[in-house]
Every structure is written in structure tokens, then in C-alpha cells.
Amino acid sequence: MIDNLINLFRYRQLLYTLVVRELKARYRGSILGFFWSFANPLLLLIIYTIVFNYILAQRDPNTNPYSLFLFCGILPWTWFTSSLLQAANSVIDGGILIKKIIFPAEVLPFVSVLSNLVHFLLGLPILFGFMIYYRKGLTVNMLYFLVIVVIQLIFSLGLGLLLAALSVHFRDVKDLLANILTLWFFSTPIIYPFSSQIMDNSPYFKWVLKLNPMTYFMLGFQKAFFYGEPPLLKHIIIMFFGSLLLFWCGYFVFDRLRDSFAEEV
């Protein structure tokens, strides 16, 4: 695996070119173009704020201002889910490249995750703008989000590689994934805090949250941006080594199945 990753560095220009192509293709023919990278997270924020501020008004007082708390989780979650949904179908969509050009097929799921990382980064100014609006102090602890982003990148790449490889042989993976991600969203402390009454009333759900790897990513972003605190060191350690393990497993499966891609796509 190490040799393949080192070899992948030789194709960094191809990776860059494909990421740029993916970003341009997404907004080709659009009037607003890349402005949607700012508008989409803002529209999500408005929708969720209306739903949970006015329709479902009861919430934990520790989440005020709720719009900001919500956005701290929605933004990285959108990056995560968009990456997986695109990565799961990336090898199938890139079948022409795999059949006609000799290049590492793992570039395709990498492009899906990295292009969505760009959209995540472009959405950060919206988050910073709301932090200033709500007079949340910009502290040094916010820099911890960079560590969380790198670890989530490794996690997403590992899961993206695994899903991309499995989707070639099992076409139902992508449809199943959409439903799993919906359940995963509500099993992650994004619209409610980790210490909420919901979790206290259900010890089983508490264990679901603790075993959910995305819980620690969301807590990291919430602490860095919303609470202005450094993430817990044990959470960073769990996320880092867990993400490395997932990346290794994902790459191992992808590498074992890569020879069959050209026949199946």
C-alpha cells in the first residue's frame, strides 16, 4: 500500500486537474457558478434554523445561538455525506478512464472527497460571518479545526475507497448508502448536543453516540467554533488512529478489487 501511495504522488497533477474539472463541471451552465458554494450552506442554515427555531422550538439552552451551533455540524456533515455519495459511484462513472488510460483508479474517489473539501472550505466564511454576527470570540482554539479537517479527510478517503470498490460489484450500495446516511445524521450530535436530555433518557442511544465515529468529529468542530474550547485529546487520538485504520482497510479492499474494475464498469 505504501508503494502505491508513493506512486500516487507522481499523479498529483492529474489529481489536481480532475478536482478542478469536477468543480467546474458541477456548476457548468449555472448562472451563479461558484457562488453556490456559499449559497448552498447559507440556504441549509436558513432552512434548519426555521425548522428548529420556530417549528421545533424546544432545545438545550447550551446550544444558543442555535443557528450557529447547528451550522458548526451541518457544514462538515455536508462535506462528509457529499463525499461518500459521489465516491461510491466514482469508479463506475469513471469507467472510460479506467478502460482507456493507465492510472491509479484510487484517484477517482480521491477527487470526490477533495472537491467536496473545497466546497466545505468555501463555506467557512459563512460560518465566520455568523460567529462575528453573534459576537462569538475568534480564539486560538479555533485553529484546532485544521486538525479535525485533516483527520476527517483521512476518514472520508478510507470510507470512500471502500464504498467505491464495493459499488462496482454491488450496485445497490449507493442506494443503501443514502438511507444509511439519513439514519447516521440523526444518530450524530448535530441538531442536538452530546449531553442532551435525549441521550440521558436512553442509555442505549448513549452507546450509539459513543460508538459513532462522526460524534467525535462533530464534537471537535463544535468545541473549536461554538464553544471556543480545544477538543479533548483522547477524542483526537481516537479519531486519528481510527481514521488511519479505516483508510488502511479501505485501501486494502480497493487494491484487492482494482483488477476487476475494467471488466465490471
Q: Identify the helix (H) or strand (E) that includes residue 133.
A: helix 107-133
Residue 153 has what pLDDT? Answer: 96
Residue 82 has what pLDDT? Answer: 92
Grid cell at residue 94: 469513471
Grid cell at residue 168: 462496482
Residue 60 has what pLDDT? Answer: 62
Per DSSP, 27 falls in state T
Residue 3 has what pLDDT? Answer: 64
pTM: 0.83
pLDDT along the chain (265 residues), means of 10: 66 74 63 58 67 56 79 91 90 74 80 90 85 78 91 95 89 81 88 72 78 93 89 90 94 86 67
Q: Residues 145, 221: contact at Cβ < 8 Å?
A: yes
Residue 55 has what pLDDT? Answer: 47
